[in-house]
Amino acid sequence: MRRADRLFQIVQYLRGGRLTTARALAEKLEVTPRTIYRDVADLIGSGVPIEGEAGVGYIMRAGYDLPPLMFTSQEIVALVAGARMLRAWGGAEMAAAAEEALVKIEAVLPDAARTRAAGVPIHAYAMPDLAPEVRLLIDRIEAATDNRLRLSLSYADAAGQVTTRTIRPLGLRLAPEAWARRRRRPPYCESDWASRISRTASLR
């Protein structure tokens, strides 16, 4: 968990209005009590009204809330357009995450900003060759990229000849007509990798 996410969770737990010990917070967030002490001290230093002390527990004064999430009009357009593109062209997991992100963003926007988000005139439609199995393949390639794993894939060339290749995917990029992935195919020596780009529609 990122530290920013952990600080947010600490605030959420303490907003419950009950005295909470550092040990209890540490168990929930899977860190040490010492880490909680540092985090709480930083939160207090930034103006969060937390009361208490180490060994006793912490509580937040009533009435405190996190400041609203604010975006400019152009930031809203960029976020909504980007999420719509991922929803249309991403893998199954990416598409679901983009949908959830849109819901969460709209939930915290003021009324005027929510209206702006709903009216963004940029739309994206799924590509003809983006079948469910291709979406799942995109997820596999994305996961392998994040975890630095090799993938064994069957590849069909322009003539329809199918070969099996072991690749190290470097990432995905959206070409004008299709998702493509950058990868390295190790021959006999990994120091002699070749960097290649292939369409996911050609993979099996």
Residue 34 confidence (pLDDT): 92
Q: Look up tokens 């070749």; give the residue.
A: 194
Same domain, 110 and 136: no
Residue 37 confidence (pLDDT): 93
Domain housing 91: 73-118
Cα-atom radius of gyration of the chain, to the nearest Å?
23
Same domain, 164 and 195: yes
pLDDT tens-digit series, residues 100-155: 888 877 776 777 888 888 888 888 887 776 788 888 888 998 898 889 898 888 87
Q: Is residue 68 part of a domain?
A: no
Cα–Cα separations (whole angstroms), residue 79 to 57, 89, 101, 122: 39, 15, 9, 11
Residue 188 confidence (pLDDT): 36
CB atoms under 10 Å from CB of 29, counted, come to 18
Same domain, 34 and 80: no
CA nearest neighbour of 28 among 8, 45, 44, 50:
8
Residue 132 confidence (pLDDT): 86
Question: What stretches in the chain show pLDDT beneath 70?
Answer: 65-70, 108, 129, 175-204
H/E stretch holding 115 reads: helix 111-118
Residue 26 confidence (pLDDT): 93
Q: Is residue 168 part of a domain?
A: yes
Residue 172 confidence (pLDDT): 81
Number of domains in the chain: 3
